[in-house]
Amino acid sequence: MLQQLRPAVMLLIVLTLVTGGIYPAVVTAIAQVAFPHQANGSLIKDDNQSVGSELIGQHFSQPEYFWGRLSATQPVPYNAAASSGSNFGPLHPDLKDAAEARIEDLRTEGSEDRDVPVDLVTSSASGLDPHISPAAAEFQVPRIAKGRRISEETVRQLVHQHTQGRQFGVLGEPRVNVLQLNLALDQQTSK
Amino acid sequence: MTPNAFLQIGLYVGVLLVCIKPLGLYMAQVYSGQATFLGRFVGPVERLIYRLCGVDPDAEMSWLQYATAVLMLSLVSFVSVYGIQRLQGLLPLNPESLSAVSSDSSFNTAVSFTTNTNWQGYGGETTMSYLTQMLALNVQNFLSAAGGMAVLVALVRGFTRSNTESIGNFWVDLVRGTLYILLPLSLVLAIALVSQGVVQTFSSYEEVALVEATVNADGESVMTQKIAVGPAASQIAIKQLGTNGGGFFNVNSSHPFENPTPISNFLELLAILLIPASLCYTFGEMVGDRRQGWAILAAMSFIFLGILVLTWTSEQQGNPVLADLGVDQAASELQPGGNMEGKETRFGIVNSALWAVATTSASNGSVNSMHDSYTPLGGLGPMWLMQLGEVIFGGVGSGLYGMLVFAIVAVFISGLMVGRTPEYLGKKIGAFEMKMAALVILLPCAMVLLGTASAVVTDTGRASVFNPGPHGFSEVLYAFSSAGNNNGSAFAGLGANTPFYNGMLGLAMLVGRFWVMLPVLAIAGSLAVKKTVPAGAGTLPTHTPLFVVLLVAIVVVVGALSFFPALALGPIVEHLLSTAN
């Protein structure tokens, strides 16, 4: 028994050094040299100030901004220091209530009276989803155009510019980055 | 069920199949002690480690010595992981000044990571310092994976050797698995993930200005967003490759910093099944008959694809409750449709379902969507895959040794049918092997069911349940299925960070790991002593489609008989309720 203790302790120490010390340090060094933007959080800089991350969504509720997925993080939506999903099962009453409230908000803000794309009424897994589907963006175009007094065509063009297709035409789903689209809207209108 | 969905699944399966032979062959070289192309760089490090640690690489171990070595390493690892968590407030590399983890949570996490389960009762970015993530958790991601692979190799040696007590040297198998297989693969994957946007930094959490101010629960205005970062990529690479699954962030690989793009998702998904599937080839190569490995792989793939179809179609159908509200859940070129609660837009339905099935067939347990929000039948698939004993690919090493135990049971049952002594790979299967095989299969089953029962009959157990009705029962059943089979994924609504669940699930994880591992090593020892008998006219060939069907049937029947009553109370009732509305 005890004859196995020494190699167990020694190997744990040595392999801790290798896999817990050297390995992450080497990855960090390579990452910081080769991909500094990505390794540090893909931050969006505006005059040297960070206004967000390309990968982390923000909460939008004003009618002149595109809205993202519902977020279940606490104590504020899109809390990027404590990611969380809703964990509502399909029959949880709060799931239905949240969807109904969202549909009501969309309708009172003047969105069309047609079926709402599912990603607009459901919480994302992370609570930080930066994207919505192109269908969810299109659904909101009339509201944005009215709120900002610009043509729907202009808004649609911006949406189109910020729509990413499937990677290599195959992988993942088509999607629109909400924060980047809204930043572009602000820029367009301030011109 | 769009053409693109078929394409994405086909691409995944295709790339995986292409990788199996080269990696499987390479791992066979590593574990047979042969020279490999990495030997020139890694060899000197390997020899230095043996010298430093007082390991004689040529000394062989009996199964009891091998088992003692496994247990010793697990014990000192447990102490280390527990200690670092308790002391993290005093240790460096803690930019967010996180305080010590509570004792019951530390116990649970220490058991979880040393048993290759990676059940997480805590949220990563709010609980663990960078140092704890690296020195405690990440190290176990490597060691518990390498340990599982070592035990598999020891079992394979039991089949290939004859008239000997020795089944290899655990320390050598552990070190070689870590240095030659896990580390190089992790290094490459980690860098690839960073290129996609996975963070890798030691600086403190970022603070950015919000475009639109928001209000918190107390009605106060919030102008900034604090964004958790950290040395994530290095940890994510190994947690995918080593079937560990413990996320750097609370929401695991659904977090945009843990899995930012469809490419990163594809790579992480590939990493889940890469080693478990390739080990089938390694097994065939080491026993000198590759068809044996392909047969096992075929049986695993058959069940995998069956469950995938169930979960994928259920999720794509969406939630009837939302359909009634006028919500569009139809898949099109403009939206993924389906049940999007708890799923990310960039992954949609097909990548979420594929991941859920891969992560629970392998005992990985990482998630890119929230399983608790799955439709009843969509969630039944992953749950049942765990209950099958994590043998459909399963954990690195542990999945295949579990499946080989089922293969032993399969030859035994067919032996009974024709009245001959059963044999597998040239070894006669005797009463001792069968007793051990029964222990391997029955004890984790019992742990899952008794654990679930103890939780639902006590107030403390029920208090943590989040969803009402049968889904709440599913949360508890899922938790014990996950812990008792060392998976680590969760129906995360269950508030499991309580002394009751931390303790009970910790116990389940210990049973799931060691009460499988020790009988397997005993089988290895017993087989190694036996002489090899040449296959005769009455030998059941174990590489044929007939045997594959038999093996699938045994796994499915054992799993269904053990768990159908429990599943009927959870997901099946919920499905009936959901369709009745």
- B346, B335 in Cβ contact below 8 A? no
- Provide Rg for chain A, Cα atoms: 22
Q: Give the pLDDT confidence score for residue B538 in this predicted structure.
A: 81
For the stretch B472-530, pLDDT in tens is 999 999 999 999 999 999 999 999 999 999 999 999 999 999 999 999 999 999 999 99
The Cα B170–Cα B35 span in angstroms is: 19
Chain B interface, best mutation among A33, A173, A189, by max B CB count within 10 A:
A173
Q: Single out the residue of A121, A99, A120 nearest to residue A176, CA to CA.
A: A120
Global ipTM: 0.96
**Closest approach of B345 to chain A, Cα-based (Å):** 6
> Is B287 a member of any domain?
yes
Say if residues B501 and B535 touch (Cβ distance below 8 Å).
Answer: no
> Is A133 near chain B, with CB under 8 Å?
yes
Range of the domain at B425: 3-213+223-580
d(CA A86, CA A88): 5
Amino acid at B516: V
The per-residue pLDDT for range B227-240, each reduced to its tens digit, is: 999 999 999 999 99
Nearest alpha-carbon partner for B182 in B125, B143, B132, B129: B143
Residue B173 lies in a domain: yes
- Would you call B212 and A58 a contact, using CB atoms and an 8 Å cutoff? yes
Token pair in block for residue B507: 């116990």
> Is B256 contained in some domain?
yes
Cβ atoms of B68 and A4 within 8 Å: the answer is yes
Smallest Cβ–Cβ distance between B211 and the set A52, A124, A138 belongs to A52
Hey, how many other C-beta atoms are within 10 angstroms of the C-beta on A154?
16
Average pLDDT over residues B194-220: 92
Mutate to test the interface with B, among A55, A160, A167 (most CBs of B within 10 A): A55
pLDDT of residue B341: 97
Query: A78, A127 in Cβ contact below 8 A?
Result: yes
- Would B218 be classed as within a structural domain? no
**What's the mean pLDDT when you consider all of chain B?**
96
Spatial CB neighbours of A159, under 8 Å, sequence gap ≥ 6: A134, A137, A138, A141, A176, A181
Percent of chain B with pLDDT over 90: 95
The pLDDT, as a whole number, for residue B219 is 82
Residue of A nearest to B220 (CA): A76
- Looking at residue B94, its pLDDT comes to 96
Q: How far apart are CA B450 and CA B479, in angstroms?
A: 12
Instruction: Label residue A109 by pLDDT band (50, 70, 90).
Output: low
Paired with B225 in beta bridges are B208
Residues 6+ positions from B114 with CB-CB distance below 8 Å: B74, B77, B78, B81, B140, B143, B144
Structure confidence at residue A191 as a pLDDT band (50, 70, 90)? low
Strand residue runs (E) in B177-319 = 206-215, 221-227
Q: Of B257, B500, B329, nearest to A133 (Cα)? A: B329
Which two three-digit tokens encode residue A111? 């969105």
Report yes or no on B341 lying in a domain.
Answer: yes
Burial label for B10, CB within 10 Å (0-12, 13-18, 19+), is exposed
Judged by a CB distance cut-off of 8 A, whether residue A73 touches chain B is no
Number of structural domains, chain B?
Answer: 1
Q: What is the pLDDT of residues A10-36, one digit of tens each?
A: 999 999 999 999 999 999 999 999 999
CA dist B104 to B111, B249, B319, B479, B555, Å? 11, 20, 37, 17, 35
**What is the tens place of the pLDDT at every residue in A79-100?**
999 999 999 999 999 999 999 9
Chain A positions touching B370 (Cβ under 8 A) are 85-87, 125
pLDDT beyond 80 at B1 = no
pLDDT confidence band for B581 (50 / 70 / 90): low
Three-state secondary structure call for residue B309: helix
> A1, A19, A33, A64: best mutation site toward chain B, by most B Cβ within 10 Å?
A19
Cα nearest neighbour of B133 on chain A: A20
Q: How far is CA A78 from CA A162, B417, B511, in A?
A: 21, 61, 39
Domain boundary assignment for chain A: 2-38, 42-190
Distance between A164 CA and the closest CA of chain B, angstroms: 10
